[in-house]
Structure 1
Amino acid sequence: MGFYSANTPEQKRVKKLTGDINISDMFKSECETRGIAIYNAYNIQKRLIHEVEQEQLHGVKEVDDRLMELLDERSKNKVTHRYVDFISNEDSASRGVIPPRGDEKSSLPPKDQIKIPPRARDGQTFKTDNELPEREMLIKIMNQNKKIINQNKIIIEQLKRLGEKND
């Protein structure tokens, strides 16, 4: 039986970059080289997780860019390298996530061109309103009006009965 993770690629990327509950060793060492205190490293991690949960960041690239912004804001030392380039995207990107449906060309015609008869066993097809001749269209409208009139007669009779009971 397989295991399916409900985490989005963004959440996986944040965990890959900063660690899960505890901060990862690479992220700790990066924060130390930048002169960031450990509590600020936790704050950066919480901020990223919050922004991903609020759907402010879409895509792994935005998560990487936002982490670098936060690291640059809090850092006291200038660093020449980009921390996110050391960690591969493949491991955190899309494993365990159902891929979106592709826009593949199928052999079936579009939905608006498929016509299914009401009863498939007799194979009888019915014309749409645009295809009906004028006489058949008038007959169809007359039948619908007769149904409405009959329904209204039933409703009027029931209302008369209710009115007689109240008197």
Structure 2
Amino acid sequence: MPSPTSQPGRPERGRCSPAARRSRSRSVGPSTPASSQEPAVAEPHRIDPLTRPYAPSRLEAKPQVGAEGFFAVDLRVGTVVTAAPFPEAREPALKLTVDFGPVLGVLQTSAKISNYDPEELVGRQVVGAVNLGSRRIAGFVSQFLVLGGLEPDGTVRLLGADAHLPDGAPVG
């Protein structure tokens, strides 16, 4: 029963509307926004080498997103400035800083890659999705998603350009 001080169409003080409760219960991914003070709660990504879940013959096609959806993602080429192990991550990972040119500057990310020595990545050009928002991963703010192809066993092979491009060059 509404209290005498409640206003029509508004929930009582201290109570959420059903729409507000539904929107708070949705989850969009395993990591948390960088502005959140809570630690990320994510299930570890486990690969079963016997089933090889990333084998192209086992993967179904994803639904179509259309050109508008694809071009909404800002993909850029950048040069790795630093690469270092990330022992605080749940799974083997590296911290990368990448120079995306004068407009975007230097951004950092955490990448679940264990098949590269950090030293061999410095100076290499990579492709990153730079407008997905920041995520906090084990206390580290990841500002972009570095892209790679997946081997059947889940090993990541970083994407890059076949010739040197200016840092910040768009991918289309």
Instruction: Provide the TM-score with structure 2 as the length reference.
Output: 0.19
Instruction: Provide the TM-score with structure 1 as the length reference.
Output: 0.19
**Which structure has the greater CA radius of gyration?**
1
- Structure number with the higher helix fraction is 1
